[in-house]
Structure 1
Amino acid sequence: MASTDRRSRRSFGLTALFLGFFGAGWLSWAQAAPPLGTWLSVLAWVSLATAAAGAVIGFRSPGGQDQVDGRRYGIIVGVEFAACGLGAVALGATGQSEFIPVWICLVVGVHFFPLAPALHDPLLVPLGVAMCAVAVAGLVVALASSVNASVVVGTGAGLLLAGYAVMALGKAVARP
């Protein structure tokens, strides 16, 4: 069965770049309370290597994004950053800074829903659902135990984003 995915090699490379970079960031954030420190460090480096390979492919491949989709992308990411920042400030100001990673993970998960059509990537929807589930899991674990939310959320979000980045890199490499 032939693939109906029309995204370019450049698109997959840039997806690997961005999600690999942020996957490494989340995996590093998870090390705030390091029960899995060595493994998370190794996975963060793998995620960064995936991002670097994605950058090489993405920036060296022809192709582009139409202006309407590019504008929508910019608006979505701008709203995401604003929501993350405002929520983080509010949580910090109210003495709830432990829950900043939960909030940011939730916002990142939600932002994948409008990004899916803008980037022509329907798999961003299940990624968004999974990121939101990780945020909820981090909140529940932090409230019900002594485990820091950043460990749960950073590990879960980092693995999801790094895994998606590796998948995108594989698709970029397979594209002619």
Structure 2
Amino acid sequence: MSDVRTTSRHQAGLTALYLGIFATVWFSVPAAEQPLRALLVVGSLAALLTAVAGGVLAAHTRGAGGAVRDRATDRRYLLIVVAEFAAAGLGAAVLAAAGWSGYIPVLVCAVVGLHFFPLAPLLRDPLLRPLGVALCVVAAVGLGVALASAVSAGLVVGTGAGLLLLGYAVQALVRTHRSG
């Protein structure tokens, strides 16, 4: 197997692992009644299985291609993720202090969506940009629905973000399987 293909498969495994875990988290955000609650649990289980499959793929391909880690890329990745967590954490604290904690999922989803834009070139995955746009749209829709109705922002955003992240994680595995 070529080094590029092994590196690509390893990256796809990591993508499925991380996004599967975060999809599981998003599916746990909304407080929902049955039957939606059961569907969220099914989504969460599917996301966990996807994360496990990604972890197995990543472990299986680790070091197989002989790829050398790039410390500069690792630092930029870490900086982006730290900035994402800082923005989400500080924003959540401000919203909670203002008594608007119901809008925290909207803020976090928007921040998560935005963080995919600098990650796309860094991870050499241009499809992260449409994912980022879609997550920002979900955040905006969640905000709009919460302001215009009795439906919570967390229900809209948690379900939407969970589905998007799970879908992306699954497509990363499928795309790798088709190319392998």
Report the TM-score, using the length of structure 2 for normalisation: 0.90
Matched residues, number: 172
Q: Which of 58, 72, 77 lines up with 2:81 in the alignment?
A: 77
Instruction: Output one character per residue of 1:127-170: Cα deviation in whole Å (capped at 9) or x when no partner.
Output: 00000000000000000000010000001100000000001122
- Residues 101, 150 of structure 1: 8 Å contact kept: yes
What CA RMSD, in Å, does the superposition of the two structures yield over aligned residues?
Answer: 1.8
Q: How far 1:172 sits from its partner (Å)?
A: 3.3
Q: Which of 117, 121, 124 lines up with 1:113 in the alignment?
A: 117
Could you tell me which residue of structure 2 aligns to residue 102 of structure 1? 106
CA distance in 2, matches of 1:128, 1:5: 25
Q: For 2:106, give the aligned amino acid.
A: V
- Residues 33, 151 of structure 1: 8 Å contact kept: yes
CA distance in 2, matches of 1:171, 1:55: 16
- Residues 69, 118 of structure 1: 8 Å contact kept: yes
Structure scoring higher RCO (CA < 8 A, sep ≥ 6) equals 1
Instruction: Output one character per residue of 1:85-106: Cα deviation in whole Å (capped at 9) or x when no partner.
Output: 0011101111000000000000
Q: Which 5+ residue runs of structure 1 have no aligned equivalent?
A: none
Q: For 2:49, give the aligned amino acid.
A: A
Q: How does 1:13-52 map to 2 (within 5 A)?
A: 13-30=13-30, 32-34=31-33, 36-52=36-52
Q: Which of 143, 149, 153 lines up with 2:147 in the alignment?
A: 143
Q: Which 5+ residue runs of structure 2 have no aligned equivalent?
A: none
Q: Which of 99, 121, 126 lines up with 1:122 in the alignment?
A: 126
Q: How far 1:78 sits from its partner (Å)?
A: 0.4
Could you tell me which residue of structure 2 aligns to residue 171 of structure 1? 175
Report the TM-score, using the length of structure 1 for normalisation: 0.92
Instruction: Output one character per residue of 1:22-57: Cα deviation in whole Å (capped at 9) or x when no partner.
Output: 011111112x13351111110110011000110111
> Structure 1 residues 175, 149: CA separation in 2 closer, same or farther (over 3 Å shift)?
same
